[in-house]
Amino acid sequence: MKGAELVEARFGSELVGGVRTAIDDLYANFANTGAQGPVAYASQMIIDHPELDEKSLRADSVVEVRTFYTRLNLSVT
């Protein structure tokens, strides 16, 4: 089961309150490859897997968070 499916199964399709705020914050933290989310993610992945490309990791993380957000049928507020 994908992340978005798990969130919907747990919280329903109507994401409100603290859950919606947390997901919006996640989206904001991965707004672009220079944001804190992709930087932290790539930094940790490089420690664990030094053979990986940091720029690719950052870009991939942005795409994945956007995909997650879109699959929840949310729009940027």
Dihedral, 32, 36, 38, 44 alpha carbons, nearest 10 = 170
Token look-up 């870009």 returns 59
The full set of domain ranges for the chain reads 3-71
Closest among 66, 75, 56, 50 to 3, alpha carbons compared: 66
What are 43-73's pLDDT values in tens digits?
999 999 999 999 999 999 999 999 999 888 8
> In 10 A of CB 58, how many CB atoms?
23
pLDDT band at residue 10 under the 50/70/90 scheme: confident
Residue 40 reports pLDDT greater than 60: yes
> What does the alpha-carbon distance between residue 35 and residue 29 come to, in Å, rounded to a whole number?
6
pTM of model > 0.75: yes
Q: What value does the mean pLDDT take over residues 18-47? A: 96
